C-alpha cells in the first residue's frame, strides 16, 4: 500500500468507526472478520442474536452485518429487536432470495441485503457505500432544511415534520424523503434514486424503492391511490409536490 493510499484509508477510518458482524458459523465468521479487517474496517464479531443485542446496547457500532440463520433467534426477529434499540444501518446476509423474504426484511428495517454466497470484496463494497453516505451526510458544513407545503425536512438534524407533527422514519425512509424534498416538483427516476440514495447500480428488478415508498406514504397519511405529497409518474419515476 502506498503512502497516499494509507492516508486515504486513515481519513476514511477516522469517520467510519466500527462494524458489528453477526454470524453463527465460526468458519464463515472468521473468514469474513479477516477479510473486512484486512480491508480497513474495525470489526467486532459475535455468533448469536443475544450477543448482538448486548453489544449494540453497550457500544453502538456504525453498521451491523446480520446473518439470518442464527441459533438462538430467527434473523428476522433479531432485525426487529435491533431496530427497537438502534437506527444504525443494517445489512442482511441471507440465503433467502425470494421476493417475499426480501420485502419482509426491508419492511422490518433492513437498509440493504446480500444473498449468500458472496465474496469479502462484495461485502466490503456494500459496507463502504453505506458508511460513505452516512459519513458524508454527517460532515455536511451547512445542512439544508427543505419545506414543501406543510412538510419540513431538516437534513442536519435528520428530522421530518408534517403539519407540525414529527414523522418517525427509518434511515432509508428519511434519505428518500430528503432527496425528493430537495427537488420539489421534479420527476426523479428509479435509476437516480437507486444510484444516489441507495448507492446501488440500477440493474435488474429491485423492490427496495417500492417498499420504502409504501411505508413512507403510510406514515405521511397518504397512499398511491390517494397521494398528497408523493406522486408516481408512471413509467418515469416519482416527484414530491405540495398538496393542491
Average pLDDT over residues 227-236: 91
Domain ranges of the chain: 3-138, 145-240
Which fold would CATH assign to domain 145-240?
A: Arc Repressor Mutant, subunit A (1.10.10)
Confidence of residue 137 (pLDDT cuts 50, 70, 90): very low
pLDDT in tens, 102-120: 777 887 788 888 888 888 8
Rounded to two decimals, what is the model's pTM?
0.53
Residue 5 has pLDDT above 60, yes or no: no
Contact yes or no for 151/229 (Cβ under 8 A): yes
Confidence of residue 199 (pLDDT cuts 50, 70, 90): low
The CATH number of the domain covering residues in 3-138: 3.40.50.2300
Question: 3-state class of 209 per DSSP?
Answer: helix
The span from the CA of 238 to the CA of 231, in Å, is: 6
Contact yes or no for 124/144 (Cβ under 8 A): no
Contact yes or no for 122/33 (Cβ under 8 A): no
User: At which residue does the C-alpha cell 398528497 appear?
Assistant: 228
Contact yes or no for 172/109 (Cβ under 8 A): no
Average pLDDT of the chain is 81
Angle, in degrees to the nearest 10, between helices 26-38 and 120-138: 50
The confidence score (pLDDT) of residue 141 equals: 38
The confidence score (pLDDT) of residue 133 equals: 65
The confidence score (pLDDT) of residue 66 equals: 94
* Across 101-105, 197-201, 215-219, least confident range: 197-201
The confidence score (pLDDT) of residue 12 equals: 37
The span from the CA of 4 to the CA of 56, in Å, is: 34
Amino acid at each position: 500500500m502506498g503512502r497516499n493510499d494509507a492516508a486515504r484509508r486513515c481519513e476514511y477510518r477516522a469517520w467510519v468507526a466500527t462494524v458489528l458482524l453477526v454470524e453463527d458459523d465460526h468458519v464463515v465468521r472468521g473468514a469474513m472478520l479477516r477479510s473486512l479487517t484486512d480491508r480497513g474496517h474495525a470489526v467486532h464479531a459475535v455468533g448469536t442474536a443475544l450477543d448482538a443485542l448486548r453489544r449494540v446496547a453497550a457500544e453502538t457500532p456504525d453498521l451491523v452485518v446480520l446473518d439470518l440463520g442464527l441459533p438462538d433467534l430467527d434473523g428476522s426477529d433479531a432485525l426487529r429487536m435491533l431496530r427497537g434499540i438502534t437506527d444504525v444501518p443494517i445489512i442482511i446476509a441471507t440465503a433467502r432470495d425470494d421476493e417475499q423474504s426480501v420485502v419482509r426484511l426491508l419492511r422490518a428495517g433492513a437498509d440493504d441485503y446480500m444473498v449468500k454466497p458472496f465474496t469479502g470484496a462484495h461485502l466490503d463494497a456494500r459496507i463502504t457505500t453505506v458508511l460513505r453516505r452516512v459519513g458524508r451526510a454527517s460532515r455536511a458544513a451547512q445542512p439544508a432544511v427543505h419545506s414543501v407545503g406543510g412538510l419540513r425536512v431538516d437534513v442536519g438534524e435528520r428530522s421530518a415534520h408534517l403539519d407540525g407533527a414529527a414523522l418517525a422514519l427509518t434511515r432509508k425512509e428519511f434519505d428518500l424523503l430528503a432527496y425528493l424534498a430537495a427537488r420539489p416538483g421534479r420527476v426523479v427516476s428509479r435509476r437516480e434514486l437507486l444510484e444516489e440514495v441507495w448507492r446501488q447500480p440500477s440493474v435488474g428488478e429491485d423492490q427496495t424503492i417500492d417498499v420504502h415508498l409504501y411505508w413512507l406514504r403510510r406514515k405521511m397519511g397518504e397512499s398511491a391511490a390517494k397521494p398528497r405529497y408523493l406522486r408516481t409518474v408512471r413509467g418515469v419515476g416519482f416527484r414530491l409536490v405540495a398538496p393542491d
